[in-house]
Structure 1
Amino acid sequence: MKEQVARNIQSYRKEKGLTQDGLAQRLGVSYQAVSKWETAQSLPDLALLPELARLLDVSVDRLLGYGAGDRSVTLYEEAYRASEDYYWGTEPNEACFKVLRLAPPIRRLKLLDIGCGEGKDAVFFARNGYEVSAFDVTDAGVEKTRRLAERTGVRVNAFKADVNDFRPEEDFDICFSSGVLHYIKPDVRQELFSSLKRRTSPGGLHVLNVFVEKPFIAPPPEPEPYAFPWRSGELLAQYHDWLVEDSAEIVFDCDSSGIPHQHAMSTLIARRP
């Protein structure tokens, strides 16, 4: 818990443009105290938490890593909640079949679905014998993931978390993510991927994709105030020390908003040595 709180305090402090000394002065503590919080040597006193959260413009739950926040970070919360139907359908992403081919569940394999949406891929993996944990930032997405798993007769450990805040506390054999990594803030990317890589078993697999900006493709019609741009090759560079089994860039048509448009996407499959 200390490590999670330390990361959060440092990240939100920097977002507000505060130095350690500046935050300390506003709280009436020493800058050494703030430094110890951010290096996980100690935790803030309970009485300081409400004021600390107020200064950092987050909820206490978010500060402590227990929730995905007190503000919407994706337009899909409303879309998932608007209908009993599944916004993305229930057919798995084609990348799921690559996981089956490259890491078949002939033994117990633990899989983490990062940003699972309404759970179609997480449930597919569970149906095929993987031990699946899956998280999403939307309450509606997590609830629909649980319902789909129950309806299908499989178990998925589905929970709410923000990809910017979540760091695994156990090892996984496979990390899978589709259509989510553009929500990762640029200043936490290296630390986040380092954490995911450390928590991957030797020989484990990461199967990921991310939208990338291209000058010849118009921005998507959906407003995404909490999305951040990625460039070609940026995802691949995070895995320079792993075996890259596949890396590609594709352009595809999409009408998720009801308005036909295109996306450019970098895809990656990498294995830990």
Structure 2
Amino acid sequence: MKEMLARNISIYRKERGLTQEELARRLGLSFQAVSKWENAQSMPDVALLPELSRTLQVSIDKLLGYALQEKSITIYEEEYQSGNYYWGTEPNAACYEVLKAMPPVKRLKLLDIGCGEGKDAVFFARNGYDVSAFDVTDAGIGKTKRLAEQAGVQVNVFKADILDYRLNAHYDILYSSGVLHYIKPDFREDIFDNYKRFTSPNGMHCFNVFVDKPFIAPPPEKEPYAYKWHSGELLSHYRDWYIEDSSEIVFDCNSSGIPHQHAMSTIIAKKVAALSSL
């Protein structure tokens, strides 16, 4: 719990735009006390939690890691309530790139980040990967479980918010499609460092992000918690990895019933072990 609380204090402090000194001043403490909290060297006194919660504008439960999301952060929570699969059940084309790049000739642990209704996670499980997946929507998690049951496969699916969740176990493959725009720019370096650290040697990331282009109109879906990426930004997180693919496309979309376009950057990168110095 100490490590989770430390991380959450740091995350929500930065989200509120506060320095350690400013948070300490509001709580009547020294900034060294806040620094020790965020480095997991100590924990706040229980009597401080209500004021800390109010200052950081987050519940005590969520601060301690027990609550997930108190309000909807994606427009798709409501869409997933229907009986139909909003995105269909056919896997994303990127799934086949994973199969080609790292076929499951041995046990490979794969994490689907923001699995939605589970079509890609279930595809990977059907093809022999050891699959875990998370999403922030209860409806999406429920649909993922049902789709896995129908396919007769096991997917370890759980609820998590991409902004809050950090890996604490290693995976061979990290995969995410159409989700990373929910990561605020200020948190991207921290989150990607965590993803890379908990990727096994010779493991792989297969990610895509929507990128902002001045010649493409904004999408009709109004997502208040989506944040723009720029061309080359995703690639910049992998300067120390082997790049198998870093492409960008513009494609037509009709997901909302209104024809529109998206620009998307893709990265397929492998964590190649560094050469030891002589």
Aligned to 1:206: 205
Contact 1:67 1:160 in 2 (8 A): no
Match of 2:78 in 1: 78
Contact 1:4/1:167 (8 A) holds in 2: no
SS in 2 for 1:215: coil
Alignment correspondent of 1:93: 92
- Answer whether contact 1:254 1:263 (CA < 8 A) is retained: yes
- 1:132 is aligned with what amino acid? V
Aligned pairs for 1:113-262 within 5 A: 113-262=112-261
1:105 aligns with 104
Distance in 1, matches of 2:186 and 2:228, equals: 12
Shift in Å, 1:255: 1.1
C-alpha distance after superposition, 1:120-148 (max 9, x if no partner): 10011111111111001111111111121
3-state SS, counterpart of residue 43 of structure 1: coil
Whether the 8 Å contact between 1:115 and 1:180 is mirrored in structure 2 is yes
Structure 1 residues 103 and 59: CA distance shift in structure 2, 3 A: same
Distance 1:268 1:48 in 2: 44
Bigger mean CA offset, 206-215 vs 99-108: 99-108
Q: Match for residue 63 of structure 1?
A: 63
Provide the rounded CA distance (Å) in 2 between the counterparts of 1:257 and 1:177.
Answer: 21
Contact 1:59 1:69 in 2 (8 A): no
Quote the residue 1:37 is aligned against: 37
Aligned length: 272
Per mean C-alpha deviation after superposition, the further-off stretch among 225-234 and 10-19 is 10-19
* Cα distance in 2 between the residues matched to 1:260 and 1:62: 38
Distance 1:238 1:103 in 2: 21
Which one-letter code corresponds to 2:151 in the other structure?
A: T
| CA deviation map 1:136-183 (0-9, x unaligned) | 111111111112112221111111111111111110000000000101
For 2:222 and 2:68, the matched residues in 1 are separated by 20
1:2 Cα deviation after fit: 3.0
Moved >6 Å (runs of 4+):
none
Is 1:18 aligned with 2:18? yes
Task: Return 5+ residue gaps in structure 1 as ranges.
Answer: none
The percentage of counterpart residues that share the same residue type is 69
**TM superposition score normalised by structure 2:** 0.94
CA contact 1:2–1:43 (8 Å) conserved in 2: yes
Structure 2: how far apart are the matches of 1:65 and 1:171? 20
Inter-partner Cα distance in structure 1 for 2:193 and 2:102: 21
Task: For 1:48 and 1:156, locate their aligned partners in 2 and report how far apart those are by CA, in whole Å.
Answer: 40
In the TM superposition, 1:43-58 aligns within 5 A as 43-58=43-58
Larger mean CA deviation between 203-212 and 141-150 belongs to: 141-150
Distance 1:222 1:156 in 2: 29
| Cα distance between partner residues in 1 of 2:146 and 2:67 | 21
Q: CA deviation at 1:193?
A: 0.7
Secondary structure of the residue that 1:105 maps to in structure 2? Answer: coil
Q: Deviations over 1:57-85 (max 9, x none)?
A: 1122322233432121111111111x111
| SS of the residue 2:92 aligns to | coil
SS of match in other structure, 2:235: helix
Is 1:265 paired with 2:264?
yes
- 1:4 deviation in Å? 3.0
Partner of 2:276: none
Between the aligned partners of 2:43 and 2:90, the Cα distance in structure 1 is 44
Q: In the TM superposition, what is the alpha-carbon distance from 1:11 to its structure 2 partner?
A: 2.1
Unaligned runs of 5+ in 2: 273-278
